[in-house]
Each structure stands twice: as structure tokens, then as C-alpha cells.
Amino acid sequence: MTCPEDYSLLQDVLELLAADRFNGLGEAVRHLLNEAMRLERQNHLGVGPYERSEARQGYANGFKPKTVQTRLGELEFSVPQVRDGGFYPSSLEKGLRSERALKLALAEMYVQGVSTRKVAQITEKLCGFEVTSSQVSRAAQELDIVLEQWRNRPLGAYPYVYLDARYEKVRSNGAVVDMAVLVAIGVSDTGMRQILGTSVALSEQEAHWRDFLRHLQERKLHGVKLFISDAHEGLKAARKAVFPSIPWQRCQFHLQQNAQAYVPKQDMKKSVATDIRSIFNASTEIEAKRLLTQFIERYEK
């Protein structure tokens, strides 16, 4: 396969982008990397095409086609060859890494709640070319596929499961709104923690928690000895409905926060918090009970 050595790269790229309302990004990348590889070979040989020089390090030997699967689709590149070998352009792999990094950056901005139109504007300023909002959406969809596989992966045995929720800004129906992100974290027999699942819901109402817990059940979560969470009524009711036989314990953080509400003096709050943490961090049950008794004797008055 041959490749012309004297064409206007910028003109070709602009024509490709403009012809398809900037959806010709894949062809533009192909042209740019082909030119980068051609220049890399020229530098390797030490002379330009058809030049005569004692500094010449070899001779060009045409181009070899190479098809690569990228996030912009299947692209065919023209890889420059050198007579007697000894040369392979590094710019191809570097360029493909940059393409992957750009796509990840687009998806990350989208996940963080930046509008697709704003992402396109930012990319144009940073990279010097426009990426359409539809291309940003496609980059985000690639993440959605991986995330969906992770959300539905089979679970195993986790003796301890923490349940919690926090409100985050989420894109919904073209608008960014506050929604509850439900989270389950499992602790294995060896003490390793792992996020078991997440779900975005309108609120922490019982119905949403119940759907979330049932999904964990469907994914074969088993061996649970204890659930730990705050005392939210919706969560408590859902847990009793889905896992009625498994005991529950209020999480240390919320228990400590509630205890602080009963401390009469502001200057006592720090010492009370320190003493409560020492009970939680006791190395044995006997030591924890001893510290609890000491705590009660100290503060009961």
C-alpha cells in the first residue's frame, strides 16, 4: 500500500470534520496518526523523501496497512516501512493512548454532571477541535456498559453488610437533580471490604430500599450475620421485609453523633467523642465492656 508524501494534512482533517458535522473524528485521527508516523520515519532515516545525503540511515519501503479497533470505530492506518526493517513508529501507540485518554476524560466530565454541550466547549478549548455532544454521550455510554456488568455481578458470602445512602446531583431527563444513592458495603471473613452494589433512587423510602436489597438477594448475597446502618425508618422497614431473620446494629458514626446531642457543655464534646471511640476500638469484648463501665461512671452525673 502506498501513501502520498505531499498533501495538506490540515486541509484534509478540516474537510473530514466539516463534511460530517464533526462526526468524522475517526478519519481525522487516522490522518493525524498516519502523518505522525510518516514524520517519525523521516526523522529515523535522517532525510526527507527523495533527498540525497550522507546522513541517510536507510531507505523508505512504502506502507503496510494495519487495522485497529478503537473507541472511534475500526480504523485502518498506513504504517511506514523501512528497507531491512529495524523501525516501528511509536507514535501509533502513543496516539491511541491519547485517544483512549480523551474518551475517558469526556465520560468523566459527563459523570460529574457537566452538560454534554459544556463538555464539547471545554474539549474544543483544550484540544483545538470540536467534539459533539452526541460523541460525549457515546463516551458515557461506554462506561454505562461496564458499570451495568459490575452492578449485576454474582455476590458471595459477606458476614457483615453496611447500608447507607447519600444525596448526589444526578442527570435525569436532561436536568441535574438531587437523588439518593443507595450503597451496600460487604465485609468478608478476612476483613476485606467491597462495595456490593449501588442504586440511584428518588429518595430513601422503603420501596426503594426494598428493591435495592432484593437485587442483592437475587445476586446470591448470603452468609450475612449482621446488617449495620443508621436508623432511617424506610431502611429499617425494608431490611425487615427482605432479610427478616438477620440482626441489625446501628452504625458507630450515627450512634456517636446522637450521643453528642446529649452532651450539656460544648467543651466536653471532644473528650466524650474520644472516650466513645476508645470503646469502639477496644481489642476485646471484655476491654470494651470495661471502658463502657468507666465511661458511664465518668459522665452519668
CA atoms within a 13 Å half-sphere pointing along the CA-CB vector of 154: 3
Residue 264 phi/psi, 5-degree rounding, is: -70, -30
DSSP reduced 3-state for 57: coil
Condensed to tens digits (0 to 9), the pLDDT of residues 61-97 reads 788 888 876 666 677 888 888 887 777 887 676 656 6
222: which 3 cell numbers? 448470603
User: Which pLDDT score, from 0 to 100, does residue 40 have?
Assistant: 80
Closest CA to 4 of 44, 62, 61: 62
Closest CA to 132 of 143, 144, 140, 121: 121
Condensed to tens digits (0 to 9), the pLDDT of residues 254-269 reads 787 778 878 878 888 8
Identify the H or E element spanning 149. Answer: helix 133-151
Burial state string for 136-149 with b = 16 or more CB within 10 A and e = fewer than 16? beebbeebeeeeee
Q: 86 near 58, Cβ under 8 Å?
A: yes
Condensed to tens digits (0 to 9), the pLDDT of residues 118-176 reads 665 655 555 544 555 665 566 666 667 777 888 899 999 999 999 999 888 877 777 78
Name beta bridge partners: 168. 179
- Cα 81 to the chain's mean position, in Å? 39
Identify the H or E element spanning 161. Answer: strand 160-172
